[in-house]
Structure formats: structure tokens, C-alpha cells
């Protein structure tokens, strides 16, 4: 991996990275599919990185939703990669930028990164994009859940999908209300809210227009460079932590950690003292 990383380094930053996140069932895959169609129609080479939590039960990612993406499987201008969230040194925060770089190296000028947006790790990954779309659907737990999941802060564009359903207007209003409550610096970006019915292709052009508008703002305010440096910093930090985690993991194979854990479980040692002993034993 490090050797490949060195070879890919010059391709860094070639593509526009669009994050797309939301709770299970809001229509992320359908929306991604339609966005790919719209971006292809504009002549872009499009990479799709679908981040699925992996399951030890199956040993890999469950790709049920990906079946829909087969619409684009024979299009040579579309690259699709599914990625599980386990087994990567440094986790998603390290693995995702690397995978984006691979797609950039393959000539993609737009990369869509689709994640399930409820866990902290997935939220952090989405926040590493140039532009982050947060999908909501009526009656899916609504705006308060978006706040709870920490996704309100990372959204540059909200998409109220399934906008033909009951409750769509309420969801739209709630989100606008929450945006109104947020603090913004003068000249700061005010998140856009777009209605869509992705399954019928409705609202997709509006989403693309909102992405374009945000892109213009990023460039105008020097934010694009700032975001990319922040993304690189998070990646480097995650890899460094992964290295240290591996070092601790190698201690786990010895008896050090299990001896300490048995004493903590028995109540004869507190976990902070145990952790300090563990760190002191690192190479």
C-alpha cells in the first residue's frame, strides 16, 4: 500500500469529491445512480465509492443496493468501487482518500462517495468531501435525528428525497428552520435545500445546480484548498493512529493486555492505570 500510495500521490486533488450520506432507506443508491447519469450526460468521467459497513457474519460488504448501479456497469466512463469499513489501517478516514486517489488516477474528474450517515466514522468521511449532500426523507425520524447523528453540521446541500410523500413539506420546513438557527460567518455558505424524487429522476438537475453553486463558493473563498488540506491532515492522522493501533494489537497477542484486562474485570486494577502500563510497553 505505501508504494502504491507514493505512485498515486501526484494524482491527488484532480477530481471534485462529492459526499452523499443519509440514514438507511432514504434513497442514497437511487440518488447516486441518477447523479451519475446526469454527470455522464455532461461529459464527466465519474467514480463512485460506496462505503458499506462490513459484517464479520459474511466476511465482506453487503452489496445488495449496488445491484441498482448495474445501469452503469457497461459504461466505460463510470468506475464503481464498494468498500467495507473494516480491515483498513486507520479505518475509513484513511482508506477513503486513498480510494479517491485511485479513482483520480483512473481519470475520474468527479468522485461520488456514498456512506451511511449515522455513525461518527461515516459522518467524518462524508465531511472530507469538497461538497457534502445529506439526504433526508419524510417520516424517517426527521430533522431532530439529523441533529442527533451530527450530520446537520456537515451538509452543504440537503436533499429532501421522496418529496412526493406525506410529510415532505414538514421535513423541508424543519431543515430550513434548523439552518436558520445555525451560526455563519459573514460570506459563509448557507446550506441549500433541494426537493427530489430520485426514483423518478425528479430534482436531479436541481441537486447538480446546488453542487455547482457550492463549488463556485468554495473556489471564490479559498475553501477548496482549505478543505483538501484538512482532508489530508485527517488522512495522515488516521494512518498514524492505525499504525499505533497495530502496535497495541500486537501486544494483545501477547499476555500483557489479557493480564491487565483480567485484573480490571476483577476490580483489582483501574482501567487508566492499566492503559498507562500498556502504552509504556509500546515499542
Per-residue three-class SS string for the chain: CHHHHHHHHHHCCCCEEEEEEECCCCCHHHHHHHHHHHHHHCCCCEEEEEEECEECCCCEECCHHHHHHHHHCCCCCEEEEEEECCCCCCHHHHHHHHHHHHHHHCCCCEEEEEEECCCHHHHHHHCCCCEEEEEECCCCCHHHHHHHCCCCCCCCEEEECCCCCCCHHHHHHHHHHHHHHCCCCCCCCCCEEEECEHHHCECHHHHHHHHHHHHHHHHHCCHHHHHHHHHHHHHHHHHHHHHHHHHHHHHHHCCHHHHHHHHHHHCCCCHHHHHHHHHHCCC
Distance CA 276, CA 89 (A): 23
Closer residue to a second copy in complex, CB, 169/270: 270
Closer residue to a second copy in complex, CB, 199/232: 232
Closer residue to a second copy in complex, CB, 73/262: 262
Question: Minimum distance between the CB of residue 38 and a second copy, rounded to whole angstroms?
Answer: 26
Closer residue to a second copy in complex, CB, 209/282: 282
Question: Minimum distance between the CB of residue 183 and a second copy, rounded to whole angstroms?
Answer: 9
Closer residue to a second copy in complex, CB, 5/106: 5
Question: Minimum distance between the CB of residue 75 and a second copy, rounded to whole angstroms?
Answer: 26
Question: Minimum distance between the CB of residue 201 and a second copy, rounded to whole angstroms?
Answer: 23
Question: Minimum distance between the CB of residue 177 and a second copy, rounded to whole angstroms?
Answer: 13
Question: Minimum distance between the CB of residue 74 and a second copy, rounded to whole angstroms?
Answer: 26
Closer residue to a second copy in complex, CB, 28/195: 28
* Diameter of the chain measured on Cα atoms: 66
Question: Minimum distance between the CB of residue 76 and a second copy, rounded to whole angstroms?
Answer: 26
Amino acid at each position: 500500500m505505501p508504494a502504491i500510495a507514493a505512485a498515486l500521490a501526484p494524482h491527488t486533488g484532480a477530481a471534485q469529491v462529492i459526499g452523499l450520506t443519509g440514514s438507511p432507506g432514504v434513497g442514497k443508491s437511487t440518488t447516486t445512480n441518477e447523479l451519475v447519469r446526469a454527470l455522464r450526460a455532461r461529459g464527466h468521467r465519474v467514480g463512485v465509492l460506496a462505503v458499506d459497513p462490513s459484517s464479520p457474519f459474511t466476511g465482506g460488504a453487503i452489496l445488495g443496493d449496488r445491484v441498482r448501479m448495474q445501469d452503469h456497469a457497461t459504461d466505460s466512463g463510470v468506475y464503481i468501487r464498494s468498500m467495507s469499513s473494516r480491515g483498513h489501517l486507520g479505518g475509513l478516514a484513511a482508506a477513503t482518500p486513498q480510494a479517491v486517489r485511485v479513482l483520480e488516477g483512473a481519470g475520474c474528474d468527479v468522485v461520488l462517495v456514498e456512506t451511511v450517515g449515522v455513525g461518527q466514522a461515516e459522518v467524518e468521511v462524508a465531511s472530507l468531501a469538497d461538497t457534502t449532500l445529506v439526504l433526508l426523507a419524510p417520516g424517517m425520524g426527521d430533522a431532530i435525528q439529523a441533529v442527533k447523528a451530527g450530520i446537520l453540521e456537515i451538509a452543504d446541500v440537503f436533499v429532501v428525497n421522496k418529496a412526493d410523500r406525506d410529510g415532505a413539506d414538514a421535513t423541508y420546513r424543519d431543515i430550513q428552520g434548523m439552518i436558520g438557527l445555525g451560526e455563519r460567518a459573514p460570506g459563509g455558505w448557507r446550506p441549500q435545500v433541494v426537493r427530489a424524487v430520485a426514483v423518478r429522476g425528479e430534482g436531479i438537475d436541481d441537486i447538480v445546480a446546488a453542487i455547482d453553486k457550492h463549488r463556485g463558493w468554495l473556489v471564490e473563498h479559498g475553501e477548496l484548498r482549505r478543505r483538501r488540506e484538512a482532508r489530508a491532515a485527517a488522512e495522515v492522522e488516521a494512518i498514524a493512529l492505525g499504525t499505533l493501533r497495530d502496535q497495541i494489537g500486537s501486544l494483545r497477542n501477547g499476555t500483557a493486555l489479557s493480564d491487565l484486562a483480567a485484573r480490571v474485570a476483577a476490580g483489582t486494577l483501574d482501567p487508566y492505570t492499566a492503559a498507562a502500563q500498556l502504552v509504556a510497553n509500546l515499542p
